[in-house]
Amino acid sequence: MKSTKLLWFDLRCGLLQKAYFFLIPILVTLTSCLALSAGAAELDQLEAFHGKVTPGFVDFILYLYGGMESYIPAPGSLFTFPMRWMAVFLPAVLLTLQYPFRDMQGFGQQILIRTKGRMAWWLSKCTWNLCSILVYHGCIFGTAALFCSTVGADVPGVFHKELLYAVFQVRKDNLMPQETVWPGAMLLLPVLVSFCLSLLQMSLTLLIRPVFSFFTMAFIMISSAYFTSPYFAGNYAMPLRYNMVCKGGVSMEIGVMLSVGGMVFAVGAGCMVFQRYDILNRDTLS
């Protein structure tokens, strides 16, 4: 089977047949947009918050991807789990968890046995993986843009830092100077991190069962929420943790390099492992 036909098969079976799954980012985004709009309306009524601010597209995206500020354990300091942030990234890795190895048990196994095209099969699955994550986050951006057009908000608009600091209840002593410029790229780095985690999960599933691979990604994200560290990948998917936003934050530049490097490593390492993978060993696929 030609590579293009194999890729089309993967996109049709692995992506189009799970179209219902993309309701998750749409609903999460819609709920988030409504929450930020309500939060902005409440702040307008507070005397301590001067000036009316109408959130725009970039505000809605940052509110969804923002995560949480650095957590500093201290007596009386409670850790508030970033549920909205997790509701974005955990379903993304769950979306790409099972299909490649279910395909290996079915039609894909016949392709591998008859053509011995392991590299083509693996690269096709990697492309399917990236397309799935791209569509997933595309649903988030598209829903936010549609919401803005419905309520008359600006697209793309500008960053309203004070609004975001207020709704996230960020400590003022933890912030960088207000004149620090926020680049538009901070909206895209969380998506790049999502690409990386999804590919790493797929490669890891060659060594352990899919459920354990998923729990590994979940552990990384949960640990990233608790620890502000350049060694936990999830920090690079939280704009509130960037060093241009908060003191002691992580570097966006390093985040881009690590994400791209992780993607290349996942594809390459997975390809080498898959060349020696026992495709008839069904026990590793459950």
pLDDT for 46 beyond 60: no
Q: Cα angle at 281 between 279 and 283, to 5 degrees? A: 135
Q: Cα angle at 190 between 189 and 196, to 5 degrees? A: 90
pLDDT for 28 beyond 70: yes
pLDDT for 107 beyond 70: no
Domain contains 56: yes
The overall average pLDDT reported for the chain is 83
How far, in Å, CA of 263 to CA of 255, rounded?
12
Domain contains 177: yes
Lowest mean pLDDT among 18-22, 231-235, 262-266: 18-22
φ, ψ for residue 175 (rounded to 5)? -95, 150
**And the tokens for 118?**
């392991």
Domain contains 284: no
One-letter amino acid for residue 283 of the chain: D
- What is the rounded average pLDDT of the residues 33-45? 80
pLDDT confidence tier of residue 86, bands split at 50, 70 and 90: very high
- What is the rounded average pLDDT of the residues 244-252? 86
| Percentage of the chain modeled with pLDDT above 90 | 38
Domain contains 281: no
pLDDT of residue 163: 82
125 in Cβ contact with 202 (< 8 Å): yes
Total structural domains within the chain: 1
Terminus-to-terminus CA distance in the chain, angstroms? 27
pLDDT of residue 55: 85
pLDDT for 22 beyond 80: yes
pLDDT for 214 beyond 90: yes
43 in Cβ contact with 53 (< 8 Å): yes
pLDDT of residue 286: 41
- What is the rounded average pLDDT of the residues 64-73? 83
Residue that wins the pLDDT comparison between 267 and 71: 267
How far, in Å, CA of 139 to CA of 146, rounded?
10
Domain extent for 248: 3-276
Q: What is the pLDDT of residues 253-280, one digit of tens each?
A: 999 999 999 999 999 999 888 877 766 6
Domain contains 98: yes
38: part of which helix (H) or strand (E)? helix 23-44
- Map tokens 């005397």 to a residue: 47
pLDDT for 212 beyond 70: yes
pLDDT for 7 beyond 50: yes
- What is the rounded average pLDDT of the residues 105-118? 61
Instruction: DSSP for 73-119, please give it.
Output: --TT------HHHHHHHHHHHHHTSSHHHHHHHTHHHHHHHHH--HH
DSSP helix/strand/coil, 281: coil
Convert 102-131 to b/e letters by CB count within 10 Å (16 or more is b): ebbeeebeebbeeeebbebbbbbbbbbbbb
pLDDT confidence tier of residue 284, bands split at 50, 70 and 90: very low
pLDDT of residue 105: 65
pLDDT confidence tier of residue 197, bands split at 50, 70 and 90: very high
Convert 12-25 to b/e letters by CB count within 10 Å (16 or more is b): ebbbeeeeebbebb
DSSP helix/strand/coil, 155: coil
284 in Cβ contact with 103 (< 8 Å): no
pLDDT confidence tier of residue 158, bands split at 50, 70 and 90: confident
How far, in Å, CA of 233 to CA of 221, rounded?
7
pLDDT of residue 271: 87
**And the tokens for 180?**
């620090």
- What is the rounded average pLDDT of the residues 241-245? 87
How far, in Å, CA of 26 to CA of 279, rounded?
36
Domain contains 143: yes
Closest CA to 32 of 82, 101, 94, 107: 82
Domain contains 282: no
Domain contains 74: yes
pLDDT for 102 beyond 80: no
